[in-house]
Amino acid sequence: SQQGEEDPQALSIQEGENATMNCSYKTSINNLQWYRQNSGRGLVHLILIRSNEREKHSGRLRVTLDTSKKSSSLLITASRAADTASYFCATGNFNKFYFGSGTKLNVKP
């Protein structure tokens, strides 16, 4: 299975701190995507990183990809209470994606 696995499963931090989540996957990929899900709702696409990229930034988000270790990390800087959500990495192609189990982030105000 290509399914990614996030680490840690849960993370609790104070507002203003940075949050780092890791994702490991099993097979070769074309790209890896990160999504956010607020409790019981749909997923929101955050960022996509291609297999030939090592790092990508989008606002307060920074994603790294290490294809030799089959891992990726998502860093959220200067976290806010509104960042409280579950975060998933997804691998796959076209529209058949495999999602990891997710990291539940709680940002305390």
Q: Which of residues 29, 33, 65, 85 is near other proteins by CB under 8 A?
A: 33
Segment (H or E) for 107:
strand 103-108
Q: Does 75 bind other proteins (CB under 8 A)?
A: no
| 3-state SS string for 4-56 | CEEECCEEEEECCCCEEEEEECCCCCCEEEEEEECCCCCEEEEEEEECCCCEE
Q: Which of residues 61, 64, 98, 106 is near other proteins by CB under 8 A?
A: 98
Q: Which is nearer to other proteins, 63 or 102 (CB)?
A: 102
CA neighbor of 51 nearest in space, from 21, 75, 69, 28: 28
Minimum CB distance to other proteins, residue 39 (Å): 11
| 104 bridge partner residues | 10, 86
Q: Does 28 bind other proteins (CB under 8 A)?
A: no
Q: Does 24 bind other proteins (CB under 8 A)?
A: no
Q: Does 27 bind other proteins (CB under 8 A)?
A: no
Minimum CB distance to other proteins, residue 14 (Å): 27
